[in-house]
A and B are shown apart, each in its own frame.
Chain A
Amino acid sequence: MIDTVELLFFLEVLIGGLLAGVMYSLVALGFVLIYKASRVFNFAQGAMVFFAVLSFVGFMELGLPFWAAFLVTVALMILVGMTTERLVLRQLVNQSDQTLLMATIGLAFVFEGMGQLIWGVEVRRLDLGIPDVPLEWVLDSTGMFISALDISAGVVAAVMVTVLAILFSKTKIGLGLRAVADGHAAAMSIGIPLKSIWMIVWATAGVVALVAGMMWGARNGVQFALVWLALKAWPVLIIGGFTSVPGVIVAGLMVGAIEKVAEVYIGPAFGGGIEGWAPYMMAVVFLMFRPEGLFGERMIRRV
């Protein structure tokens, strides 16, 4: 007979993992957007998350109310996206993917440095008004600890994915974006405005970074360590596929659930602390059997 307490605990670990996974997906979404548009793995996405939310709390410290600070930061991230396109990407049209990748590594340093230079290195608290404590009614009825912030993150992720899915499948921008992803030169030759597409995508990735940063910042404080969230997003991308928005959500859920279950049930055998590398092991397995990820596009190249 299964021990009810153990079963409930397992469920709690699983649900907690799934909700943590949603938080990873939020970060991974930004990567997917940029990869879809330019076949670039944007190394600067973690730094953008940090820069965006740091600016947001910075504006609030300057006296702006919540919504004003949010809108100003959205405007700032759009500006940052446009500037990135103008100063970095435009110079690198038709260059190899590796060149663009290297450029994003440089960009990461720029965002990290600029953020700290403008707003200082102090750790800030961010209060979204959503408490990161167990929901009473869930606790009372099931004895499980499920945080209100996690549930909110799930809702936010669902909304964002829906909006992005519509953007990609139902609008001209989405169509153009998919064309650009297939080849810069080909897309430009049929009149797709590559530069505007890039500008829109980088700006959107900036806004996604802000939302992800706000959810994480509310839980962990706004601080440099947010840059490392990218480490959690990478296995999600490999598993979900670099080009699929629903893919990162499913993969995020998988990564979150598996890493938590692994840490709690297998971790002690390894001295604990395995959740750092467990998702990467999973990613390696995927690379061996399904390199394009769960929902990624299978690449066929003529040679």
Chain B
Amino acid sequence: MTETREALRGFGRGVRVAAAAAFAAGAALLAAAPGADAAEQYFPIPSSRVGPFSAMGTGYYGGIIDYLTYVNMTGGVNGVQLVWAECETEYNAARTAECYQRLMVGPNGQRMVVFDTLGTPGAYAVINRMAEDQVVLAQYGYGRTDAADGTVWPWVFNAASHYWDQIAMKLAFMAEQEGGVENMRGKKVVHLHIDSAFGREPLPAMRAIAEEWGLNLVEIAIPSPGLEQQSQWLQIRRERPDWVTFYCAGSGMCSTGMTAAARVNFPRDRMIYVTFGGAEEDMVPAGDAGVGTYVVANAVPGRDFPLVQEIERVVYGAGRGNLSNPERVGTVYWNRGVGAAVAWIEALRNAQEMFDKVGQPVTGAEFRDGYEALDMNAARLEELGVAEMIAPYRMTCAEHGGARKFRMMQWDGTQFQVVSDWMGPNDPDMISEMIRESAARFAEENGITPRECPPDPA
């Protein structure tokens, strides 16, 4: 008995010694860990790798991580190595907000400088935190549209355009196909959408354009997850629209749209899919039913772009690629992720130069200024190896709307064929005015004083 007690006491002592040693080792590790001064820059990855949106999450964040790895393997950003941490959101707004908190401070003790939710519901969940936390919300082609007004939303950017420009571009494309805006009067367009913030986001712009052009706009909602769309498509058949725009989410809903259209003989080349529902993973499950479907792209898929080939050579060649299936390099979501990461790194490079911190990490405020100074002109895109993959764009103090241009693609059953040049809204000023009004209304309702922006010299 005494022996047992003694042994237990000894064990307790052992545990205490081990704990103390572990604590000391941990403290030493922490001290040795690169702090804010070390030549590292931390980026958060709120990925969605499992669940119904996994195709989108693995592709997009895979593209981001592959580009960060590529930068690291080719010398970093002026010597600054990039580090990142992942948190799984499953494309769920509540979990995105949780990941936002968890990822705030990285494994190296640095605070994050940018956040990319890859989803409008997630963006809405965190958007009001940005100014206070000094984090850039990089909505790469999604999210709250009126945040493109930099006077009200200094911390939010839409480098790859937003949903109002996108829907306006789709209507412009339809007008082109119909032989001009004047031929659009009386035409019927159905906006079929998931019943969520994302699905409804383009509606203000769409309604305004419909009114101006004399379009007959019909709005039809699909409840999530949208594996059954029969009643919606029967309604569409009854309406006999000239065009359908589809804002779907997740490949379940998106691929079902095409098979359901086939079931009522609605021509697929009269359907235009949204950027976040139109990727190879969304098209493949529909099989032949998908052939002819139009999809809008803010980053063109393909493996011929020099940067894509470089990443394949350097990163995948060394077996350090993030995609478990390397065949997905060059797909829609992956290329889009690369486009998003290119903007991050350019912003970081800008910030280092602007604040005399070349070779050093930057703060959130510095990164924001660097992002706002992005000037991705054709020459710079060429240097980066992404010319024609993404549209040229430039940020200013007031204009955070990015490129405002897209390309139309068509699914041929195995891959996308690009069928238009970079196209924007028919009347970009009208969309800009709507954004200004919406942002001003938000500012007034929330007691925000819009900042003064100097006139754009360009």
Binding site for B on A (CB under 8 A): 9, 12-13, 16-17, 20, 112-113, 116, 120-125, 127, 132-134, 145, 147, 216, 219-229, 231-232, 259-260, 263-264, 267, 271-277
Number of residues from B at the complex interface, CB < 8 A? 44
Interface SS majority for chain A: helix
Residues of A with C-beta under 8 A to B264? 134, 145
B234 touches A122 (CB 8 A): no
Q: A125-B286, A145-B237 are in contact. List 19 more A-B contacts (CB 8 A).
A: A12-B234, A13-B231, A20-B230, A113-B50, A124-B285, A132-B259, A134-B263, A134-B264, A220-B259, A221-B284, A223-B52, A224-B54, A225-B225, A229-B227, A259-B231, A263-B231, A273-B223, A275-B228, A276-B195
9 tightest A-B contacts by CB? A221-B285, A225-B252, A276-B223, A273-B221, A272-B221, A263-B231, A121-B54, A273-B195, A273-B223
* The residue from B232, B262, B325 contacting A133, defined by CB atoms under 8 A apart: B262
Q: How far is the CA of A225 from the CA of B224 in the complex (A)?
A: 10
B263 touches A125 (CB 8 A): no
Between A127, A145, A232, the greatest number of chain B beta carbons within 10 A of the residue's beta carbon is seen for A145
| B218 to A, closest residue via Cβ | A268
A17 touches B230 (CB 8 A): yes
Tell me the minimal C-beta distance from B200 to chain A in angstroms.
10
A123 touches B255 (CB 8 A): yes
* The residue from B49, B223, B284 contacting A123, defined by CB atoms under 8 A apart: B284
A219 touches B231 (CB 8 A): no
Binding site for A on B (CB under 8 A): 49-52, 54-55, 58, 195, 219-225, 227-228, 230-232, 234-235, 237-238, 250-253, 255-256, 259, 262-265, 281-282, 284-287, 289, 324-325
Q: How far is the CA of A272 from the CA of B219 in the complex (A)?
A: 8
| Given A220-B259, A259-B231, A272-B251 contact (CB < 8 Å) | no
Residues of B with C-beta under 8 A to A259? 231
B255 touches A121 (CB 8 A): no
Interchain Cβ contacts under 8 Å between A and B, 10 examples:
A16-B230, A120-B325, A122-B55, A123-B284, A145-B263, A225-B52, A225-B250, A227-B52, A263-B231, A273-B222
Residues of B with C-beta under 8 A to A16? 230-231, 234
Tell me the minimal C-beta distance from A249 to chain B in angstroms.
18
Q: How far is the CA of A31 from the CA of B444 in the complex (A)?
A: 53
Tell me the minimal C-beta distance from A94 to chain B in angstroms.
35
* The residue from B49, B238, B287 contacting A121, defined by CB atoms under 8 A apart: B49
B262 touches A225 (CB 8 A): no
Q: How far is the CA of A160 from the CA of B259 in the complex (A)?
A: 26
| Given A120-B324, A276-B224, A221-B262 contact (CB < 8 Å) | no
Q: How far is the CA of A134 from the CA of B238 in the complex (A)?
A: 16
Residues of B with C-beta under 8 A to A134? 263-265
| Given A20-B228, A121-B55, A275-B228, A220-B252 contact (CB < 8 Å) | yes
Residues of B with C-beta under 8 A to A260? 230-231, 234
Tell me the minimal C-beta distance from B292 to chain A in angstroms.
14
A147 touches B263 (CB 8 A): yes
A220 touches B255 (CB 8 A): yes
Q: How far is the CA of A219 from the CA of B55 in the complex (A)?
A: 18
Residues of B with C-beta under 8 A to A228? 52, 225, 227, 252
A264 touches B231 (CB 8 A): yes
A272 touches B220 (CB 8 A): yes
| A145 to B, closest residue via Cβ | B264
Q: How far is the CA of A223 from the CA of B259 in the complex (A)?
A: 15
| B234 to A, closest residue via Cβ | A13
| B223 to A, closest residue via Cβ | A276
B251 touches A123 (CB 8 A): yes
| A23 to B, closest residue via Cβ | B228
B235 touches A264 (CB 8 A): yes
Residues of B with C-beta under 8 A to A277? 223
Residues of A with C-beta under 8 A to B51? 224
A122 touches B281 (CB 8 A): yes
Q: How far is the CA of A209 from the CA of B55 in the complex (A)?
A: 24
